């Protein structure tokens, strides 16, 4: 019997079940047993980690068509390294670890698809690291907005960002909420985005990023930010 990849990822069966989550509901929590992997059919999920000091940070947003919980395949008895929760209403296929390993071993089309997903995920993580190391916080915010608005899909009628707080954007950019607010207002004034409840991203923002046309390399500081002091040199002794 021919293996139907689309049907496998769309329906429940042996070792897999459909789950539906409301916003903020959790697929799995950091530190919980990693015994299943999730294929996100619809909606958006976010990945967060909590430090030993209790500080939480959002490290990734997952669109439909991707897997969540890859660490489940690393070893028996593994623990989840982060928390995955629904950002919007989600439908996902929960696949037990044993069933995931079986189908990867038995079905070439599935293992090839999953390998492509892992390679794309690795390349995206590398791009994120380069972005964090070398680009300004303004450019990083622009890139994240383009990714969230799915500008990689040119046929989309509207490029809307899923509901997301400025605090979450700040965590992903690696800056403060006040700077995110400052840059968002600046993007809006320049006509790069609309921001009225939901964020609508215009193609102009993509052009700015592609051609590196951020006009102000050192834009004015957001209100309330401190201005660094410059120490005066001691007077020369006579």
In a domain, 167, yes or no: yes
What pLDDT sits at residue 229?
42
* CB crowding 153-179: b at 16 or more within 10 Å, else e: eeeeeebebbebebebbbbbbebbbeb
Could you give the dihedral angle defined by the CA atoms of residues 204, 208, 211 and 215, in that order, rounded to the nearest 10 degrees?
Answer: 140
CATH number of the domain to which 197 belongs: 1.10.10.10
Q: What are the tokens at 8?
A: 């496998």
> Domain end: 88, 108, 127, which one?
127
- Give the separation between CA 113 and CA 193, rounded to whole angstroms: 35
What angle do helix axes 203-210 and 137-148 make, rounded to 10 degrees? 130
CATH number of the domain to which 119 belongs: 2.60.120.10
Mean pLDDT by 10 residues, the chain (238 residues): 91 96 96 96 93 86 93 88 94 97 95 94 85 85 88 73 88 90 93 88 88 58 46 47
Q: What is the pTM of this model?
A: 0.74
Question: Sign (positive/negative) of CA torsion 211, 214, 218, 224?
Answer: negative
* In a shared domain, residues 94 and 148: no
In a domain, 35, yes or no: yes
> Domain end: 76, 103, 127, which one?
127
In a domain, 217, yes or no: no
* In a shared domain, residues 104 and 12: yes
* In a shared domain, residues 109 and 141: no
Q: Where are the alpha helices (DSSP H) in 70-163?
A: 97-106, 108-134, 137-148
* In a shared domain, residues 48 and 119: yes
Number of domains in the chain: 2
* In a shared domain, residues 123 and 144: no
* In a shared domain, residues 114 and 164: no
In a domain, 219, yes or no: no
* In a shared domain, residues 72 and 120: yes
* In a shared domain, residues 18 and 104: yes
* In a shared domain, residues 171 and 80: no
> Domain end: 76, 105, 127, which one?
127
Length of the chain counted residue by residue: 238
Smallest CA-to-CA distance from 43 within 101, 102, 91, 93 is with 91
What pLDDT sits at residue 227?
41
* In a shared domain, residues 114 and 189: no
What pLDDT sits at residue 214?
67
> 3-state DSSP call for residue 170?
helix
* In a shared domain, residues 22 and 117: yes
Q: Count of alpha carbons within 13 Å of 72, Cβ hemisphere only? A: 23
What is the CA 97 to chain-centroid distance, rounded? Answer: 24
* In a shared domain, residues 19 and 113: yes
Question: The domain containing residue 115 runs over which residues?
Answer: 5-127
């Amino acid at each position: 019997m021919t293996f139907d990849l689309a049907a496998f990822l769309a329906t429940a069966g042996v070792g897999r079940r459909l789950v539906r989550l409301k916003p903020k509901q959790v697929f799995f929590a950091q530190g919980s047993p990693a015994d299943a992997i999730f294929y996100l059919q619809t909606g958006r999920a976010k990945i967060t980690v909590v430090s030993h000091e209790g500080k939480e940070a959002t490290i990734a947003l997952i669109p439909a068509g991707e897997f969540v919980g890859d660490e489940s395949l690393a070893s028996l008895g593994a623990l989840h390294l982060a928390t995955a929760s629904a950002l919007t209403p989600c439908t996902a296929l929960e696949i037990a670890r044993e069933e995931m390993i079986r189908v990867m071993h038995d079905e070439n089309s599935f293992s090839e698809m999953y390998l492509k997903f892992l390679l794309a995920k690795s390349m995206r993580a590398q791009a994120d690291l380069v972005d964090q190391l070398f680009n300004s916080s303004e450019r990083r915010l622009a890139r994240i907005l383009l990714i969230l608005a799915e500008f990689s899909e040119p046929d989309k009628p509207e490029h809307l960002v899923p509901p997301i707080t400025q605090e979450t954007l700040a965590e992903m950019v690696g800056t403060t909420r006040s700077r995110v607010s400052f840059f968002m207002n600046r993007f809006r004034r320049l006509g790069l985005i609309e921001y009225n409840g939901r964020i609508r991203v215009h193609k102009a923002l993509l052009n700015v990023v592609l051609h590196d046309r951020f006009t102000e390399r050192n834009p004015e500081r957001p209100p309330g930010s401190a201005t660094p002091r410059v120490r005066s040199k001691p007077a020369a002794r006579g």
